[in-house]
Amino acid sequence: MPKVRVTISLKNGVLDPQGRAIHHAIEGLGFAGVQDVRAGRQIELEVDDSVTDAMLDEMAVKLLANQVIENYRIERVAG
């Protein structure tokens, strides 16, 4: 069944406390050179062939992403 991957990330300029905490933890482990960390979310959907790009976009806008703070990217991946 076709698979769809929706990647949700915080918009630029939106403070990401989780990303910052992960960044601190990476540095705490002794890794140098990491300039910034942003945490996001990935949602995978298994869909029928009848599910159109427009429907996927509507799902993202209505539920999966909050466009006040988040961007989303929809990809169809080989399933």
Partner 1 sequence: MSSFSAAVITFPGSNCDRDMAVAIEQVCGGTVHRVWHGDAALPEGLDFIALPGGFSYGDYLRSGAMAARSPIMRAVIEAAGRGVAVLGVCNGFQVLTEAGLLPGALMRNAGIRFVCRDVALTVANNQSLFTAGYSQGQRVTFPVAHHDGNYFADEATLDRLEGEGRVAFRYAEPVNGSSRDIAGVLSEGGNVLGMMPHPERMIERAQGGSDGRALFASVVRGLVAA
Range 43-72 burial, b when 16+ CB lie within 10 A, else e: bebebeeeeeeeebeebbeeebbeeeebeb
Q: Does 74 bind partner 1 (CB under 8 A)?
A: no
Question: Does residue number 42 form part of the binding site for partner 1 (CB under 8 A)?
Answer: no
* Distance from C-alpha of 6 to C-alpha of 77, rounded to nearest angstrom: 10
Cβ proximity to partner 1, 17 vs 33, nearer residue: 17
Residue 69 lies near partner 1 (rule: CB under 8 A): yes
Q: Does 54 bind partner 1 (CB under 8 A)?
A: no
List residues near partner 1 by CB under 8 A.
14-15, 17-18, 21, 62-64, 66, 68-69
